[in-house]
Amino acid sequence: MRRRSDRAEEAVPPLTRVADAALACGAVAGLLCVLWWLLSAFLGLGLVSFATGSMSPGYPTGSVAVSAPIALDDVAVGDVVTVQRGAGRPPITHRVVAIDVAPSGASATIRLKGDANRVEDPAPYSVTSLRRVVLPLPPIADALRSTGSPTVIAVIGALIVAALAWAFWPERIRPRHRAIEP
């Protein structure tokens, strides 16, 4: 009679191990995506990318950071915030050098300056909402940027399709020869 431990020692084909590892990695990646979606939906978290070197050396060109909404009353000099500029212009992320919140608390006028800039931004910004940088993500900035490449998207898609095909492909029925034990 065959014991359970004997079955566990049977060799697992290398391709099966690779497929299992790929599926496990896919599951972890999917879990991280769901977690990020939940954090974004319930806490308002978002990603901000630093397109220029104006915030170097703390945030060099291409850096990525997590940002969160902040009440105007909670903004302090020294905070790194993202301001939505006029129509057709991208948002700007710089350090607060001065803030004047209206008595109602519904709006504010802020002055910003990039860490690498010698002078403040040319004009103050009138804002009704802000986002503050809460967590820089230097180690994953390159990975996030590369995921936008068409080549990377195609490779990731092909790997997902291959892993799903492997997982759901019908097994061939192979006869198993068992030794008859007395």
Q: Which parts of the chain are beta strand (E)?
A: 46-49, 64-70, 80-83, 92-101, 108-113, 125-127, 130-136
pLDDT of residue 6: 52
1: three-class secondary structure by DSSP: coil
- Dihedral angle of Cα 17, 21, 24, 25, to the nearest 10 degrees: -170
pLDDT of residue 70: 93
Which tokens hold the place of 95? Answer: 């350090």
Amino acid at 23: L
Whether the Cβ atoms of residue 114 and residue 93 lie closer than 8 Å to each other: no
**pTM for this entry:** 0.68
**Residue 50: predicted pLDDT:** 87
- Burial environment of residue 56 by CB neighbours within 10 A (0 to 12, 13 to 18, 19 or more): middle
Domain spanning 46-139, CATH class: mainly beta
Give 130's contacts (C-beta < 8 A, 6+ positions apart): 69, 70, 72, 75, 81, 82, 83, 108, 110
Q: What is the rounded radius of gyration, in angstroms, for the C-alpha atoms of the chain? A: 26
Q: Mean pLDDT in runs of 10 for the chain (182 residues)?
A: 54 80 84 90 89 88 89 93 86 94 89 94 92 84 71 85 79 60 60
